[in-house]
């Protein structure tokens, strides 16, 4: 019996962001492969400097956004592209799922990146989602909830300054 037969695997979502898809998304093939292998349940990618303002919508046939350029290998990858968006904007689009996942006892949130603005914006967005989706009643309770998650090792940050 291998390890996957013995342990229950929960959902694993990755929200990640880059400036430009074709310049900065260095591990696109590897991340897509993780989705194909069900290591990642959902991959939501934001590109802040690429053209494509409005909300990209997942195309059910390809599992890609309608604005995405596809090649044959990409068709089976459940990757959602939100061009012209930041990670926190994509988080808002998936707020119900984030709230559902956060309410699970074994859930974890990992935030990696710039400490100056990105980490603060993601934490603020996460707190807003907790309030908007009814996990907590107020922003203050949301901040306390995040602090408690941090104490429990369930909200972890790997952040840095330039």
Query: Does residue 8 sit in the same domain as residue 76?
Result: yes
Phi, psi for residue 34 in degrees, rounded to 5: -65, -35
Query: Does residue 57 sit in the same domain as residue 132?
Result: no
Sign of the Cα torsion 146, 147, 150, 151 reads negative
Q: Per-residue confidence at 85, pLDDT binned at 50, 70, 90?
A: confident
Phi, psi for residue 40 in degrees, rounded to 5: -105, 130
**Residue 26: pLDDT over 50:** yes
Query: Does residue 109 sit in the same domain as residue 85?
Result: no
- Pick the last residue of a domain from 53, 73, 90: 90
- Write down the pLDDT at residue 57: 42
**Residue 62: pLDDT over 60:** no
Sign of the Cα torsion 53, 124, 126, 108 reads positive
Instruction: Name which residue leads in pLDDT, 15 or 61.
Output: 15
Query: Does residue 14 sit in the same domain as residue 71?
Result: yes
Query: Does residue 119 sit in the same domain as residue 50?
Result: no
Mean pLDDT, residues 117-131 taken together: 96
Mean pLDDT, residues 101-124 taken together: 93
Query: Does residue 50 sit in the same domain as residue 9?
Result: yes
- Pick the last residue of a domain from 40, 70, 90: 90
Pairing status of strand 109-114 against strand 155-160: parallel
Count of structural domains within the chain: 2
Q: What is the pTM of this model?
A: 0.77
> 57 Cβ partners below 8 Å, 6+ apart?
65, 66
Query: Does residue 21 sit in the same domain as residue 73?
Result: yes
Cα–Cα distance, 150 to 35 (Å, whole number): 27
Cα–Cα distance, 162 to 147 (Å, whole number): 25
Mean pLDDT, residues 112-132 taken together: 95
Nearest CA among 30, 79, 28, 90 for reference residue 54: 90
**Residue 151: pLDDT over 60:** yes
| Host domain of residue 7 | 3-90
- Write down the pLDDT at residue 51: 75
Query: Does residue 80 sit in the same domain as residue 33?
Result: yes
**Residue 98: pLDDT over 90:** yes
Cα–Cα distance, 45 to 21 (Å, whole number): 9
Beta bridge partners of 14: 43
Q: What is the CATH number of the domain that holds 111?
A: 3.40.50.80
Query: Does residue 11 sit in the same domain as residue 64?
Result: yes
- Write down the pLDDT at residue 91: 94
Quote the mean pLDDT of the chain.
82
- Write down the pLDDT at residue 15: 93
Query: Does residue 21 sit in the same domain as residue 63?
Result: yes
Query: Does residue 108 sit in the same domain as residue 129?
Result: yes
Mean pLDDT, residues 43-72 taken together: 55
Query: Does residue 103 sit in the same domain as residue 69?
Result: no
**Residue 8: pLDDT over 70:** no
Q: What angle, rounded to 10 degrees, do the helices at 95-102 and 118-132 form?
A: 80
- Pick the last residue of a domain from 90, 110, 145: 90
């Amino acid at each position: 019996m291998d390890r996957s037969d013995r342990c229950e695997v929960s959902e694993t979502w990755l929200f990640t962001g880059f400036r430009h898809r074709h310049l900065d998304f260095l591990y696109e093939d590897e991340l897509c492969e993780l989705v194909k292998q069900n290591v990642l349940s959902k991959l939501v990618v934001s590109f802040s400097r690429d053209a494509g303002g409005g909300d990209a919508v997942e195309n059910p046939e390809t599992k890609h956004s309608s604005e995405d350029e596809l090649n044959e290998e990409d068709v089976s990858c459940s990757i959602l592209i939100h061009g012209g968006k930041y990670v926190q904007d994509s988080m808002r689009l998936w707020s119900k799922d984030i709230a559902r996942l956060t309410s699970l006892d074994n859930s974890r949130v990992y935030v990696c990146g710039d400490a100056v603005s990105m980490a603060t914006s993601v934490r603020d967005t996460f707190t807003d989602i907790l309030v908007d989706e009814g996990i907590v009643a107020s922003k203050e309770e949301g901040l306390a909830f995040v602090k408690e998650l941090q104490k429990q090792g369930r909200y972890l940050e790997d952040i840095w300054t330039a």
